[in-house]
Each structure stands twice: as structure tokens, then as C-alpha cells.
Amino acid sequence: MVSPPPSRPFPTRDAEPVALPVTPRPRVSIEGAVIADRIYRVAILGFALCVPILLLLIFVEVGVAGWPALRQFGVHFLTSSTWDPVNGEFGAAPAILGTLLTSLIALVIATPLALGGAVFLSEFSPVWLRRPVSFLIDLLAAVPSVVYGLWGVFYLIPALRSTVIPFLRDTLHLGATPFFSGPAYGPSVLAAGLILAIMVLPYIAAVSREVLMAVPRSQREAALALGATRWETITGAVVPYARTGILGGVILGLGRALGETMAVTMLIGNRHELSASLLAPGYTMASLIANEFSEATSDLHLSALMAVGFVLFVLTLLVNAIARWLVWRVGGAEARA
């Protein structure tokens, strides 16, 4: 027989009816254990409830702080492009559009790279190469935002000015289009979009790789057996199977891009005007808050910034919820684990 742990009472209920000489001790410990178990359960339930409570608290606190501005300006807060702290007029349209534009640039650049890389790593890569390359791409997510910003200011912007913009304008003749016209000082929507592309790439790549690796082998074998080439196997059998999950990964990347703050603040130029040119400075919601919050001149200004934060919060909440739902749906129980 297995003996109970030394120096501990034997607290199972089965022990009770046995006519042992010393019964009170185990009885006490049973009750003690029941109470302790109950305390333990309540405690971990309490910790678990911290998560929804925290989200609710953020929603309420930021929402309440932003309410005066939202009430005063109503829909105009989202549609007006006047941001005038001196006269107390606040419209966040340039920041909202700037957020969407930079995120769009980021996704357009990052998605093909991340997806292509993920396909290579899951389908074609030699096994010995898979782990180190995945690791290097994952490491991109570990680089702090402020370091991206620093690198962007001193490397990316000069590189854009000296090489990329002349190439776009003189070699590709895109200067005539409104997107690349106008003076290029340095900080710009394009620079912010590029840095965001690098920053969201690891998220899209990681999720895509995982869902691609989860596609059953039989799916590939069936396509190959029908005479498909390796590439046709990918486009015809593997990617369609993983489509929902990949979309989830891209939307997850979008969520990251929308809320990214420091690097964008350092690169976008922080100007309350929306220009068609990607080479002009702009604003995003996150960089607007980061830039003006500590210098808010009035209560209304502060409230307007809080309202911007609230809009950003709700937007990323929706985007993340959709992304998670997609990733979970495709991965089923496995991805949830």
C-alpha cells in the first residue's frame, strides 16, 4: 500500500468509517481541507475575474474622461479636421485617418513578406533552417518600440530621403501622382508605415506559420497525387484550408499597427493635417495622445485626448476580437489550448 505523506494527516473521507483509535485529527483536517479548497477556488476565480474587470475599468475610466469632449462635439469629433486647442475645437479625423492609412501601408508591405516567409518555412524550408529563421523573425517582436523609433529617425528617414524617394520619383516617375508629390522633409506617413510594417511582420508570420503547419498532411498529399505542382498544392490545397487563420493573423497585425505608439510618434512628424502625399507628415491617434497629453492646455483638451484614446481602444478591441475569433475558429480546441 502507498502510505500517506509523512507528518501529514490522512484526510480522505474513506478513512472515516475505519475504526482507528485516533479519529478527530483527520476529521478536523477534512473540514480544514474543504475550507481551504473553497478559499483556493474563490481566490483563483478572483484572479481570473481581474481580466474582465480590468478591461471594464479601462473602458469606463477612459470613456468617462473622454465624455465631455465626445458630448460637446458629437459626430464632428470623428469627422472634423480642426484641432485647435487655443479656441477649444477638437476634431480627430486627421489622426483617425492617419492611423488607418499607416496601418494599411504596414499591412500591404508586411503581409506578402510574412505570408511568403511562413509558406517557405512551413512547406519548403529544410528542417534545419526552419527553427533559426523562425526564431529570428520572432525576435523582431521583441525589439522595443522606442528602439525602432530611434533606428527610424537616424537610419530609415535618411535612407528614405537619399535613396528610396529619389528612386520612386526619378526612376519610377511616381512624383507626378499625388501620393509621392510635394516636399519630403523627413518624418512622414510613409516612414511611419514602413516601420509599422517591420513591427507587425513577426505577428502575421507567426500566426500564418502556425496555421499552415496545422494543415493536415493528407491535404498536401491529395493535391500532389492529383498531379499538382508544389506551388499549386500551396494555392489549391494548403492556403485555402488555412485561409481563415491567416486572415486572423493579418487582422491581429492590424490591431498591433493601429495602437503602436512610440516608433510612430518619432517618425510621423506629428502634424494635424491630412495630405494625399505619403511623404508629408501626419498624425495617428496613438501619437497624438503621446505627443500632446502631458502638455494639454485645458480640461477640454485633455478630455479630447482621452476621447481619442477611447476611440482607439474601441477600435482595437473590435479588431482584436475579430482576429481572435477567426484564429480560434480555424484552430478549434488546439489553438485555444
Binding positions for other proteins, 128-147, rule CB under 8 A: 131, 133-140, 142-147
Q: In the bound complex, what is the minimum distance in angstroms from residue 283's beta carbon to other proteins?
A: 13
Cell numbers given for 260:
503602436
Contact in structure between 68 and 299 (CB atoms under 8 Å): yes
Judged by DSSP in three states, 84 sits in strand
21 binds other proteins per the rule CB under 8 A: no
Q: Measured from the CB atom, is 38 or 173 closer to other proteins? A: 38
Dist CA 209 CA 246 (whole Å): 9
The residues, any chain, with a CB within 8 Å of residue 236's CB and separated by 6 or more, are 223, 228
Q: In the bound complex, what is the minimum distance in angstroms from residue 34's beta carbon to other proteins?
A: 8
Dist CA 187 CA 139 (whole Å): 26
Dist CA 51 CA 58 (whole Å): 11
174 binds other proteins per the rule CB under 8 A: no
276 binds other proteins per the rule CB under 8 A: no
Cα separation of the two ends of the chain:
36
Q: Measured from the CB atom, is 116 or 216 closer to other proteins? A: 116
Dist CA 179 CA 5 (whole Å): 74
Contacts (CB under 8 A) with other proteins, residues 38-97: 39-41, 43-52, 54-55, 57-58, 61-62, 65
Q: Measured from the CB atom, is 71 or 230 closer to other proteins? A: 230
What mask of x and - would describe binding to other proteins in positions 222 to 261, judged by CB under 8 A?
----xx-xxxx-x-----------------x--xx-xxxx
Dist CA 241 CA 95 (whole Å): 37
306 binds other proteins per the rule CB under 8 A: yes
Q: In the bound complex, what is the minimum distance in angstroms from residue 318's beta carbon to other proteins?
A: 10
Q: In the bound complex, what is the minimum distance in angstroms from residue 95's beta carbon to other proteins?
A: 12
